[in-house]
């Protein structure tokens, strides 16, 4: 492994197509949305539809793994174009300009911004590099004889769009990636540390806690396993299932070191891993508390509750039951008639999902429903309301004020306060909808 310095700056500007020449400063028009339209072009638009910029030209396909990701400030967007030789680019929304910051050949993964917004983490073949967002020679963080794989946030979006904490960084300071057949944690500027597991596929489900640099991951090593590693020390705690049935980390309870996971019987439990910041007297997984049934899907959480879909209904489980040590029978019904193969999202004390009215298998029978989660303080007041018919819901904006929807073969943004619908792009489908990404979420 070796570290190299950053050399002279280089920036190459390329042309882009601007549809609406309006200033994009100060996030006027609400937060920004990046998406890929039906022609395969990258588009950036404001939530209220007053600003739209087609960033890439026809025939410039996005790299299938790197795709695109927002900077921490939400003012710039990293994206990659091409296949055999990949062009790494940064779009500046305020100036509506695009810079090429580098080119790489062959297999490449990554696409995460550094926490200061000054660089993008890229893993070409057996190297881990930081490319300066303003252009210039990349800084090498690691090199190895084996291939390094750093999962892209764009790649992860198609599978679990609502689990954005699946990023490979905890507060931006630590990485979790695969190196050959090993799992690795590394501090930015530090040395790679091999951790327990031995399944390179584990980096595809790694989840960082937001309260401390603990990463949870699972895989197969003889039996299925669930592990939690302390990135500062390399210490790892492992739960061996004793069978091949998969175990899966789902999410961390926000602001805590309590991990919510699916056990080998598929039941969803929670375990307190705070002892990982010191010495654990035993294995916390041995006393994991059962939360919700094995049939639960689309599990999410905020500070107040755990939200999930089960049997065609949306539920909330107040997380105060965890502190009481008993969650049996505590779930509240928030909505019904959840459409098959649709997604639910929670943001800014708002929950959104797609419902049907008569026929769950009729794609034309769809409507967007929302729940104001302030109702959890008065459960009898909880209930979903329809905000748009003939549409399918995607992700909420970070403040919960807007939602991306598909309607009439196009993507739109819907302002929930008054129902204003703003056209964003032609085209639709589950992949296009789930990969529409709001600024402020990366």
Identify whether 405 is part of a domain.
no
Shared domain for 131 and 261, answered yes or no, is no
User: pLDDT higher for 171 or 360?
Assistant: 360
Identify whether 254 is part of a domain.
yes
Q: How many domains does one find in the chain?
A: 2
Identify whether 213 is part of a domain.
yes
pLDDT confidence band for 206 (50 / 70 / 90): confident
Shared domain for 172 and 289, answered yes or no, is yes
Identify whether 235 is part of a domain.
yes
User: Final residue of a domain: which of 263, 279, 294?
Assistant: 294
Q: Identify the CATH number of the domain in which residue 135 sits.
A: 2.40.128.660
Average pLDDT over residues 213-228: 91
| HSE of 404, CA atoms in CB hemisphere, 13 A | 35
CA dist 417 and 354 (Å) reads 18
Shared domain for 150 and 241, answered yes or no, is no
Shared domain for 226 and 111, answered yes or no, is no
Shared domain for 116 and 231, answered yes or no, is no
Of 442, 438, 424, nearest in space to 50 by CA: 424
Q: Which residues contact 24 (CB under 8 A, 6 or more apart)?
A: 32, 46, 51, 53, 93, 94, 96
Average pLDDT over residues 404-409: 95
Identify whether 414 is part of a domain.
no
User: Final residue of a domain: which of 294, 320, 350?
Assistant: 294
Task: Decide if pLDDT at 430 tops 80.
Answer: no
Shared domain for 270 and 175, answered yes or no, is yes
Shared domain for 103 and 167, answered yes or no, is no
Domain that holds residue 268: 163-294
Task: Decide if pLDDT at 102 tops 70.
Answer: yes
Q: Is 418 exposed, middle or buried (0-12, 13-18, 19+ CB in 10 A)?
A: exposed
Shared domain for 141 and 230, answered yes or no, is no
pLDDT confidence band for 6 (50 / 70 / 90): very low
Largest CA distance in the chain: 63
Q: Which residues contact 309 (CB under 8 A, 6 or more apart)?
A: 296, 297, 298, 315, 338, 344, 353
182 near 171, Cβ under 8 Å? no
Shared domain for 200 and 258, answered yes or no, is yes
Counting residues of the chain whose pLDDT is more than 90, the rounded percentage is: 72
Identify whether 110 is part of a domain.
yes
User: Final residue of a domain: which of 261, 294, 327?
Assistant: 294
Shared domain for 151 and 167, answered yes or no, is no
* Token pair for 182: 């090993």
pLDDT confidence band for 164 (50 / 70 / 90): very low
Identify whether 5 is part of a domain.
yes
- What digits encode the pLDDT tens for the residues 269-278? 999 999 999 9
Shared domain for 150 and 230, answered yes or no, is no
Identify whether 349 is part of a domain.
no
- What digits encode the pLDDT tens for the residues 42-89? 999 999 999 999 999 988 999 988 999 999 999 999 999 987 799 999
Shared domain for 272 and 237, answered yes or no, is yes
């Amino acid at each position: 492994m070796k570290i190299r310095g950053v050399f002279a700056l280089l920036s190459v500007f390329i042309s882009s197509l601007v549809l609406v020449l309006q200033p994009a400063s100060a996030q006027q028009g609400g937060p920004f949305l990046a998406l890929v339209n039906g022609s395969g072009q990258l588009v950036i638009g404001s939530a209220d539809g007053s600003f739209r910029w087609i960033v890439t030209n026809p025939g410039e396909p996005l790299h299938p793994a790197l795709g695109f990701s927002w900077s921490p400030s939400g003012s710039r967007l990293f994206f990659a174009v091409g296949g055999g030789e990949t062009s790494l680019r940064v779009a500046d929304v305020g100036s509506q300009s695009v810079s090429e910051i580098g080119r790489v050949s062959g297999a490449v993964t990554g696409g995460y911004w550094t926490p200061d917004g000054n660089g993008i983490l890229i893993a070409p073949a057996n190297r881990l590099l930081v490319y300066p967002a303003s252009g210039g020679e990349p800084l090498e963080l690691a090199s190895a004889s084996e291939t390094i794989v750093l999962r892209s946030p764009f790649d992860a979006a198609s599978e679990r769009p609502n689990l954005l904490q699946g990023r490979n960084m905890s507060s931006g300071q630590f990485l979790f990636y695969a190196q050959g057949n090993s799992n690795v944690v590394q501090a930015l500027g530090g040395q790679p540390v091999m951790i327990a597991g031995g399944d390179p596929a584990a980096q595809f489900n790694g989840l960082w806690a937001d309260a401390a640099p603990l990463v949870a991951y699972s895989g197969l090593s003889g039996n299925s396993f669930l592990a939690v590693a302390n990135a500062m020390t390399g210490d790892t705690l492992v739960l061996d299932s004793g069978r091949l049935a998969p175990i899966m980390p789902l999410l961390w309870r926000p602001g805590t070191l309590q991990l919510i996971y699916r056990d080998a019987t598929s039941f969803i439990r929670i375990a307190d891993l705070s002892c990982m910041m010191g010495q654990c007297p035993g294995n916390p997984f041995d006393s994991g508390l059962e939360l919700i049934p094995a049939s639960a899907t689309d599990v999410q959480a905020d500070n107040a509750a755990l939200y999930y879909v089960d049997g065609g209904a949306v539920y909330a489980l107040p997380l105060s039951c965890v502190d009481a040590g008993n969650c049996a029978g505590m779930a509240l019904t928030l909505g019904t008639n959840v459409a098959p193969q649709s997604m639910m999202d929670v943001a800014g004390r708002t929950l959104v999902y797609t419902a049907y009215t008569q026929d769950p298998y009729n794609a034309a029978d769809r409507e967007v429903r929302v729940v104001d989660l302030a109702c959890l303080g008065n459960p009898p007041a909880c209930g979903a309301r329809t905000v748009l018919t003939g549409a399918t819901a995607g992700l909420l904006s970070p403040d919960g004020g807007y939602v991306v929807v598909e309607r009439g073969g196009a993507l739109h943004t819907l302002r929930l306060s008054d129902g204003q619908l703003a056209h964003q792009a032609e085209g639709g489908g589950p992949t296009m909808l789930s990969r529409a990404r709001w600024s402020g979420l990366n």
